[in-house]
């Protein structure tokens, strides 16, 4: 499929913290945009800019050349694709379907197999970069699927991200995102511990941050989330509850491969403790609250 601005219709399902911005970039990029979200109010801003509403995933898919999804949990992915009024049921042969949700690699394979029977072209393409990356169009996009389909979709991906890599066949994007989340899990504990240590030692954490963020300890989380922590900003760029979901998938996949992941398991335990204290709808940087008690 060749993408053509003003002719190619892109359907986008899932207008949450990240999906809204991602869909907005596609609309601003010159493509006709259909949108669907369980709560229509979240799409009103895009509708005011020229997007068109679809009543359900089936209706979205039947009118689209490319369908992109950015929903919450694997169960949501399965429902939106394989439900009776889902994307696979509504899509025309030749439609490209791109799931950008962080989900199960096994589910990506299942959807791809069912979609292929109908002549659809599936790509799993989870992202990293949080709300900031989504707003600025600088997400890292990790894709799995057919190389030719991936190349054809690059103009869309380039509207949403900067680091865009095809990792391999179906499910490879999701496996790569699990590796990403494993790296972040232990790193977030380190970021929070470092800031808490700085406070306990009587240092100015902001001054400490200026020193360590540019050295060997530097990381995306240290540069982007540590300042939010110090400002008392725990609003979600990425929800605690969604990170718990991701870590659970990563633990299940690592166990399936007979691999131990102690850092991941420790982080999972800490985030479950955080959620149990009522912080599941805050950003992942809220983990600091456990260290600052």
Inter-residue contact 66 to 8 (CB < 8 Å): yes
State how far the Cα of 62 lies from the Cα of 51, in Å rounded to an integer. 16
Q: Phi and psi at residue 162, in whole multiples of 5°?
A: -120, -40
CA nearest neighbour of 237 among 283, 187, 176 = 283
CA nearest neighbour of 3 among 152, 162, 160, 166 = 152
Three-state DSSP at 65 gives coil
Chain centroid to Cα 145, Å, comes to 17
Residue 5 is a catalytic residue: no
Q: Tell me the C-alpha to C-alpha distance, in Å, between residue 35 and each of 9, 26, 49, 76.
A: 11, 11, 12, 16
Count CB atoms within 10 A of the CB of residue 208. 18
Inter-residue contact 71 to 79 (CB < 8 Å): no
Q: Tell me the C-alpha to C-alpha distance, in Å, between residue 200 and each of 165, 203, 204, 225, 286.
A: 42, 8, 10, 20, 18
**DSSP string covering 115-126, please?**
HHHTT-EEEE--
Q: Name the catalytic one among 28, 162, 177, 200.
A: 177
Residues belonging to the active site: 177
């Amino acid at each position: 499929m060749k993408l053509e601005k003003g002719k190619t219709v892109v359907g986008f399902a899932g207008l949450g913290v990240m999906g809204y911005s991602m869909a907005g970039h596609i609309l601003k990029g010159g493509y006709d945009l259909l949108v669907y979200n369980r709560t229509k109010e979240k799409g009103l801003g895009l509708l005011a800019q020229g997007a068109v509403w679809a009543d359900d995933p089936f209706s979205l898919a039947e009118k689209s050349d490319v369908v992109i999804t950015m929903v919450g949990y694997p169960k949501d992915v399965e429902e939106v694709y394989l439900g009776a009024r889902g994307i696979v049921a509504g899509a025309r042969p030749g439609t490209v379907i791109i799931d950008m949700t962080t989900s199960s690699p096994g589910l990506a394979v299942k959807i791809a197999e069912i979609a292929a029977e109908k002549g659809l072209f599936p790509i799993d393409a989870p992202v990293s970069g949080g709300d900031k990356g989504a707003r600025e169009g600088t997400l890292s996009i990790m894709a799995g699927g057919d190389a030719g389909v991936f190349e054809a979709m690059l103009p869309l991906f380039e509207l949403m991200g900067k680091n865009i890599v095809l990792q391999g066949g179906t499910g490879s994007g999701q496996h790569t995102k699990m590796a990403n989340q494993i790296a972040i899990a232990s790193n977030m504990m380190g970021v929070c511990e470092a800031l808490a240590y700085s406070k306990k030692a009587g240092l100015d954490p902001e001054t400490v941050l200026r020193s360590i963020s540019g050295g060997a300890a530097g990381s995306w989380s240290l540069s982007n989330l540590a300042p939010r922590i110090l400002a008392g900003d725990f609003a979600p760029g990425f929800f605690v509850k969604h990170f718990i979901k991701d870590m659970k998938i990563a633990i299940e996949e690592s166990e399936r491969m007979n691999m131990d992941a102690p850092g991941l398991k420790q982080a999972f335990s800490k985030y479950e403790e955080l959620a149990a204290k009522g912080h599941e709808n805050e950003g992942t940087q809220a983990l600091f609250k456990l260290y600052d008690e």
